[in-house]
């Protein structure tokens, strides 16, 4: 990649800017530019898209996205130490990279992006799940983004694509598969990162569906899935007692046995329950 974009190797960039990864920021840097290019390609054809990147660090994936032809990249980075390195990339790609020093949980990216928009990121481990849930549960659909190409710990990636009845099936699978097609694109060993994490990582690609698979109220479905899977060993009538006082009646109404456990229930039934709860609250 250095031969392609003419920029220095990432190890040199990290040394020059003293960018040692900070555990408190959830940082693990991917230095192999061949791998960052593969991740960029997993996001699809970017030539007509703006791309939102969270936590670019020294800019390995940023360089991959730009080299693969992204129309424009918005990189949001909380670590001030990384800004000079990212500014060097911006200077190399005039007008195609905007860098914002800020917290991805509070920055509104839409003021800096033009549709169509895709999101691609090696997410900081400490905020990755929170960001994903936020992207999956806006009140209106389709969302502002077309697809998400995200790196997680492998166990998190497996939870996103899991099927009912499996040990990994839970809230992330429910919310992701309700509105998206989700698949794991590649896995990466710990040795690919600096510092090396204790677990493997995986890249998940989620494509937004034109409409959800089944009708449901996002806020209610999110609430039910949180309560159900937060106490997954409990029967649903107990786990969901705080959702509605007549939860046992509502479970029966949508064909869910009250003695069932969350991991046994498929997406369609959860959506039906969300509609029933909303209707009961409205009544």
Given a cut of 60, whether residue 2 has pLDDT beyond it is no
CA separation for the pair 262, 257 (Å, rounded): 11
C-beta of residue 76 within 8 angstroms of C-beta of residue 54? yes
User: What pLDDT score was predicted for residue 195?
Assistant: 84
Predicted confidence at residue 149, as pLDDT, reads 98
- Count CB neighbours of 60 within 10 A: 25
Tens of pLDDT, residue by residue over 208-232, are 999 999 999 999 999 999 999 998 7
- How does strand 180-188 pair with strand 201-208? antiparallel
Tokens of 248: 């046992």
Query: pTM of this prediction?
Result: 0.93
Dump pLDDT digits (tens) for 249-269.
999 999 999 999 999 999 999
- Rounded mean pLDDT of the chain? 93
Residue 1's pLDDT is what? 45
49, two tokens: 């898209």
Statement: residue 3 has pLDDT above 70: no
Contacts of 25 (CB under 8 A, 6+ apart): 55, 78, 79, 124, 126
Say what the pLDDT of residue 221 is.
96
SS3 262: helix
**Among 19-28, 181-190, 237-246, where is mean pLDDT lowest?**
19-28
Q: How far apart are CA 165 and CA 261, in angstroms?
A: 10
Q: Which residues contact 152 (CB under 8 A, 6 or more apart)?
A: 123, 125, 128, 129, 160, 201, 202, 204
pLDDT tens digits for 157-196?
999 999 999 999 999 999 999 999 999 999 999 998 888 8
Measuring CA to CA, which residue among 1, 75, 91, 8 is closest to residue 37?
1
Most distant CA atoms of the chain, gap in Å: 65
* HSE of 187, CA atoms in CB hemisphere, 13 A: 10
Q: Identify the helix (H) or strand (E) that includes residue 253.
A: helix 247-253
């Amino acid at each position: 990649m250095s031969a392609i974009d003419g920029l220095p190797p990432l190890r040199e960039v990290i040394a020059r800017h003293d960018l040692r990864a900070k555990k408190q920021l959830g940082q693990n840097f991917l230095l192999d530019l061949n791998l960052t290019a593969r991740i960029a390609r997993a996001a699809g054809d970017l030539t007509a898209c703006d791309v939102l990147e969270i936590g670019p660090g020294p800019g390995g994936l940023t360089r991959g996205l730009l080299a693969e032809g992204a129309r424009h990249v918005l990189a949001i980075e909380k670590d001030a130490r990384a800004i000079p390195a990212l500014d060097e990339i911006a200077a190399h790609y005039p007008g195609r990279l905007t860098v914002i020093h800020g917290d991805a949980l509070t920055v509104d990216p839409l003021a800096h992006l033009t549709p169509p928009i895709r999101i691609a990121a090696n997410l900081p481990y400490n905020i990755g799940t929170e960001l994903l849930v936020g992207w999956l549960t806006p009140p209106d659909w389709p969302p502002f983004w077309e697809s998400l190409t995200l790196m997680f710990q492998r166990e998190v990636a497996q939870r996103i694509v899991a099927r009912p009845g499996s040990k990994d099936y839970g809230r992330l699978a429910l919310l992701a598969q309700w509105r998206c097609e989700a698949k794991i694109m590649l896995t990466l060993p710990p040795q690919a990162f600096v510092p090396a994490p204790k677990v493997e990582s995986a890249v998940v690609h989620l494509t937004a569906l034109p409409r959800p698979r089944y009708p449901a109220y996002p806020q209610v479905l999110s609430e039910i899935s949180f309560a159900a899977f937060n106490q997954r060993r409990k029967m649903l009538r107990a786990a969901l007692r705080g959702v509605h006082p007549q939860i046992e009646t509502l479970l029966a109404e949508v064909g869910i046995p009250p003695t069932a456990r969350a991991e046994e229930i498929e997406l369609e039934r959860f959506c039906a329950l969300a509609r029933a709860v909303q209707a009961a609250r409205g009544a």
